[in-house]
Amino acid sequence: MESWYYEKIVYRKKTKKDDLISFAVVLVTLAICIVSYYFLRNLSFIIWLGVIYACYRIITSRKFDYEYIFVEDTMTIDKIINKSRRKNIFTHSLKDFEILAYKDSDHIKEYSDNVQQVIDASAPGSENTLFGVAYFKSMRTLVYFEADERIEEFIQKYAKHKFKE
């Protein structure tokens, strides 16, 4: 019996929003350090350490990529944060999706308004982006992900009747 397994990493480029958040976090950090120096001199060093560490964590958490793992009919999407931490954000069987279609198709209009959660695990501006609708953690979830030839093979094998052109 042939086992179907595939991994794909989607590299996410930093956006202007990421740069703006990083800039704002640095400004807030500087402001807190200055205010704590003038008003809380005895505790300012401890406050500086905490605020600078929080600033570092916030800025590095804005650097993330996505990894898709397909094993047989199960799709797993992990978020890789700063190339050091991994967080599972979605796991579901392809057979249990309500629909799978391209993001720029007309089907998106039907489904985008009737969901409780949206997971966008695609790179901004990607052309070959698919969407799927499924129940995940008791919520109707819309998932965006990038497809290539191999992922389309998985969809054709396990969820051909759910895929809409």
Residue 24 inside a domain? The answer is yes
Query: CB pairs under 8 A, 24+ apart, for 74-77?
Result: 75/145, 75/154, 77/119, 77/121, 77/143, 77/145
In the chain, the amino acid numbered 45 is F
Residue 52 inside a domain? The answer is yes
Residue 29 inside a domain? The answer is yes
Residue 127 inside a domain? The answer is no
pTM over 0.75: yes
Q: What is the pLDDT of residue 96?
A: 84
pLDDT band at 2 (very low <50, low <70, confident <90, very high): low
Q: What is the pLDDT of residue 71?
A: 86
Split into its structural domains, the chain has a count of 1
Q: What is the pLDDT of residue 1?
A: 41
* 43, 10 contact by CB (below 8 A): no
Residue 119 inside a domain? The answer is no
**Structural domain of 27:** 16-61
Residue 42 inside a domain? The answer is yes
Residue 155 inside a domain? The answer is no
